[in-house]
Every structure is written in C-alpha cells, then in structure tokens.
Amino acid sequence: MRDQDETFMREALDMARQGIELGHGGPFGAVLVRQGRVIGRGWNQVIHLNDPTAHAEMQAIREACRTLADYHLPGAVLYTTCEPCPMCLSAAYWAHIQRLVYAAEAGDAAAIGFSDREIMLELDRPSAERSIAVKQLLRDDSLALFARWEKSDKRIDY
C-alpha cells in the first residue's frame, strides 16, 4: 500500500497548498479514497466560507457523501495533511471511514497556533470543568421526543 498511500497523501498536500494560495483558511488538505479512486477532496475553508466546521477533512467527507448519495463511507481511507482534530475524527467515525493516513501531528498544528490539542483536552474533562459552561434542562421533554421517533414509521437507523 506504500506507493498508493504516498500518491494520495501528495494529493492531500496539493489541496493544502491550494488552500494556502487562495487564503481560504489554515494550511490543511484532505483526500478521501475508496477502491483506489478519489471520492472526495477538501481544504480548510473556515475563513473563506465563514464556517468554523469547514476543515479539510469535513469538506472531503461532505463532498464524498454528496457525490455518492450516502451518509456512510465504508471502506474509505482518509488522507489528511495533519492529524484530525476531535471534530474531524468524530466525523470520520460517524461516516464509517475505515482507515486514516496523516502527515503532520496535532502538536505541529499547536505550534502554528491551532487549538486541536486544547479541544481534545477539554473533551477529556468532566463537563463541569470545561471552559464552556453547561446546564441541563427539560430532559423529560427530549426523552418524550426520542420515544416518538422510536415509534415513527419514518425512522431510519444509522
């Protein structure tokens, strides 16, 4: 797999390079591949799109899902020029991605000012100790909707 992995990582690096040249956001790129074919590409567009979720990996996942008209990508490999932040890694799980190949590390991103690692540490803390204050409210009302959804004939499990 070595040659193929290198080939696709170089495509992800091209995506990052494009994003830098366009000034769209951070220096990150990603490519999604299944059965040797690119099914999604992305670069960080947080600034360009005014979308804090528009990380390279998210863009690649969303593009692949849109193109393939599926919300799951079993067998897909995600090539990303930097270790995914917890948002993107979680999205990879939700998308049922099989394998992940990355280049730079979370610590490298931290060194140029990105807070991926801080967010991972925040997630590790009990919610009462996080910097975003939390409060719970109306749990029973939400559970009543869960029950309604469970009985719905429009329900699709995913």
CA 98 to chain centre: 14
Q: Whole-angstrom Cα distance, residue 144 to residue 147? A: 5
Q: Of 3 and 37, which CB lies nearer to a second copy in the complex structure?
A: 3
Tokens of 85: 């932040």
Q: Is 128 in the site for a second copy (CB under 8 A)?
A: no
Selection from 42, 128, 58, 132 nearest residue 93 by Cα: 58
User: Shortest approach of a second copy to residue 67 CB, angstroms?
Assistant: 9
Using CB under 8 A as the binding criterion, the count of chain residues that bind a second copy stands at 87
Of 22, 74, 75, 125, the one binding a second copy by CB under 8 A: 22
Spatial CB neighbours of 5, under 8 Å, sequence gap ≥ 6: 79, 101
Q: How many CA atoms lie within 13 A of 81 on its CB side?
A: 24
Q: Is 40 in the site for a second copy (CB under 8 A)?
A: no
Q: Is 46 in the site for a second copy (CB under 8 A)?
A: yes
Amino acid at 155: R
Q: Is 141 in the site for a second copy (CB under 8 A)?
A: yes
Q: Is 69 in the site for a second copy (CB under 8 A)?
A: yes
CB-CB contact of 65 with 71 (8 Å): yes
Q: Is 158 in the site for a second copy (CB under 8 A)?
A: yes
For the question of residue 57 being annotated catalytic, the response is yes
Amino acid at 140: D
User: Shortest approach of a second copy to residue 37 CB, angstroms?
Assistant: 18
Q: Is 121 in the site for a second copy (CB under 8 A)?
A: no
- Binding to a second copy by CB under 8 A, coded x per residue (else -) over 86-105, reads xx-xxxxxxx-xxxxxxxxx
Q: Of 33 and 65, which CB lies nearer to a second copy in the complex structure?
A: 65
The active-site residue out of 6, 57, 63, 150 is 57
Q: How far is CA 144 from CA 135, 147, 153, in A?
A: 19, 5, 16
Active site residues: 57
